[in-house]
Amino acid sequence: MAKVAVPTSSNLYRGAPSARRSGEMADSSTLSISPEVRSGEPFPERELLDAYKTMVLARATDERCLSLQRQGRIGFYAPLMGQEAAQVGASRAVTAQDWVFPAYRELAVALARGVPLRSVFDQLLGNAEDQIKGRQMPNHFGFRDINFVVASSPIGTQITQAVGAAMAAQRRKDAIVTITFFGDGATSSNDFHAGLNFAGVFRAPTIFFCQNNQWAISLPRERQTRSATLAEKAAAYGVPGVVVDGNDLDAVYGAVRSARDRAISGGGPTMIEAEVYRFGPHSTSDDPKRYRSDDEVAAARERDPIARLRSRLVAAGGWSDESDRALWDAVRQQVLHTFEAAEKVPPIPARTMFDDVFAHLTPRLEEERATYDSLLREGVEKP
């Protein structure tokens, strides 16, 4: 197997996580990149403030949704705090024509692609305006109009789906790529290995974007694999792997942009491992205090991607502490009022359960719907 060279780059790095405990990132002096992938261009300077606002919106939504679940107003939520730069940077590096295959933590990806916050809240509530008609868990939103595929719970299934879609586009000669998002835990799934193998063999235009947030629920990264990096697993399938600082908007954007250029030109797939840290719980069903220390989380928060970009904007001029406080206040009000509006929408009518099962209702479904309608008329069932 070919050995991957380790040249130095200012934005991309490869450390040795197997020698570190979860939460300990590679030293920024050990930056490197796979020789098959260029370091790429930095995030466009003129778009930095817009990216920052998207990251703030994602963080404020996270804060609110955790509170709403604890109040019993939504049933479930999977936060992304700490992963905003990775998601926004990756999203801005692909085009509107490219297809996104998310896991269940990609709120910032959806927002960066232009999904209205109201649509997200409609799905979290499963109300009558939910585009998925209440048929998915909260956080499993999807938006066909922006090529954002519906998420699903099984770990890693989106990886093989993304490769299949890329192979179909390849055969149709559509000049697009697919990008699939997954966590470090998914690299232990069957779909990860099957997906990489098919992509490698068929040179599918797929970008595998792993957000290594150090914890697969309660399993630390060093308990999951002895590989020095997760990205190097791609080498077994003839796919180049790159590790980037997921808190660095430039590093993420450059790596994904480069991977996209390579895929479009026929160079095949790329795996990118973005090293980040999950500040909050895996989901609202999780208590991270049972398996990691407050000191570890506090150390990770010193590398907060939002604080990092804020400092950059202030240093560049045109942004200040006052404008930042005003932004946060406005965004939190936006989140509050948008959710309250979505909460006023009635629930999805139960009768819609018969819709969309088949292109046309089968005789059996027509019979079941007629029975349900009669129960409604008799008052046995409530609409």
**Do 262 and 221 touch, CB atoms closer than 8 A?**
no
291 is catalytic: yes
Among 92, 221, 278, 292, the one annotated catalytic: 278
* Residues of the chain by 3-state class (helix, strand, coil), percent to 5: 50, 10, 40
70 is catalytic: no
CA 143/CA 59 separation, integer angstroms = 21
Among 118, 135, 203, 291, the one annotated catalytic: 291
**Do 207 and 179 touch, CB atoms closer than 8 A?**
yes
Q: How far is CA 337 from CA 61, 323, 331, 332, in A?
A: 12, 21, 10, 9
User: Six-digit token pair at 267?
Assistant: 């160079």
Name all contacts of 44-48 with Cβ < 8 Å and 24+ positions apart: 47/92, 48/249, 48/309, 48/312, 48/313, 48/316
262 is catalytic: no
Main-chain phi, psi angles of 101, to 5 degrees: -115, 95
Among 257, 282, 292, 310, the one annotated catalytic: 282
Range 361-378 burial, b when 16+ CB lie within 10 A, else e: eeeeeeeeeeebeeeeee
**Residues labelled as active-site residues:** 278, 282, 291
